[in-house]
Amino acid sequence: AINLKKVELYTQFNAEEHKTSYFESVQEKGDLIIRRGKAFYISLVLNQNYDFNAQQFWLQFIFGSKPKIEDKSLGNLKIRANTEFMKQLTDWDINMYNGNGSALNVQVFIPASVPIGEWKIRFIIIENGQRKIYEIKNDVYVLFNPWVKEDDVYMPNEAALEEYVLNDVGKVYLGTSNSRDSREWLYGQYKLSVLPAIMYLINLAPLEPVHRSNAMQLTSVLSALVSKSL
């Protein structure tokens, strides 16, 4: 029987492609941190050569406790070669490339309308009417993507992206208009504990997945939560 032997999420390569390589959890924990509106790579290594006439292979991307295709909290993708890959940027999409017998090498596209937060990946094999389900253990975080026009946080100015998104050090100004001083401010957004802390706050917010995809709604609720706790 065919089984899953190994999963390669290419966490470092995907992080570099998605401009998330500075996050410490990529290096130290092997977290997959990616941005919506862009494709990423996964390889699924099987214990024997696959046969698409005898087996089906699926990847599921799951957000929250009640995932649904309708609100983009569920991506249900059959692995196959796909000549139409990324022709439509509004839905999940998948393409298998460089298949070599026992490895399913795939690109997965995440639409820019999915909820922000922690996702789970599930791999499914269907053979002889039997279904085998494998839960991928790595933590997977999907972030906003200001580099793509389809995301509602899109910023066309590269210098602004460098300063306001990627830079983790800034200045805080003190004093009055007549007597000013500045100090270095370490934002620390790449520290190991930051993403889990943000996910904790987001999970406190009374938002449905469809609203977790909207930057204005999400930041408004988070701001209210932080203000309430002060």
- Per-residue model confidence (pLDDT) at position 7: 97
Looking up tokens 């899109």, which residue turns up? Answer: 154
Q: How confident is the model at residue 71 (pLDDT cuts 50, 70, 90)?
A: confident
- Per-residue model confidence (pLDDT) at position 209: 85
Q: Which two tokens stand for residue 126?
A: 């269907």
- Per-residue model confidence (pLDDT) at position 230: 60
Phi, psi of 165 (to 5 degrees): -110, -50
Q: What is the pTM of this model?
A: 0.91
Q: Locate the domains of the chain by residue range.
A: 4-143, 158-229
Superfamily designation of domain 4-143: Immunoglobulins (2.60.40.10)
User: CA-CA-CA-CA torsion for 178, 179, 180, 183, nearest 10 degrees?
Assistant: -170
Contact 104, 94 (CB under 8 A): no
Mean pLDDT value across residues 14-35: 96
Segment 165-186, tens digit of pLDDT: 999 998 888 888 888 888 898 9
- Per-residue model confidence (pLDDT) at position 48: 96
Segment 79-123, tens digit of pLDDT: 999 999 999 999 999 999 987 789 999 999 999 999 999 999 999
Segment 127-147, tens digit of pLDDT: 999 999 999 999 999 999 999
Calpha distance 28→73 (Å, rounded): 27
Q: What DSSP line would sit under 75-103, residue for residue? A: EEEE----TTTTS-SSS-EEEE-S--SSE
- Per-residue model confidence (pLDDT) at position 2: 95
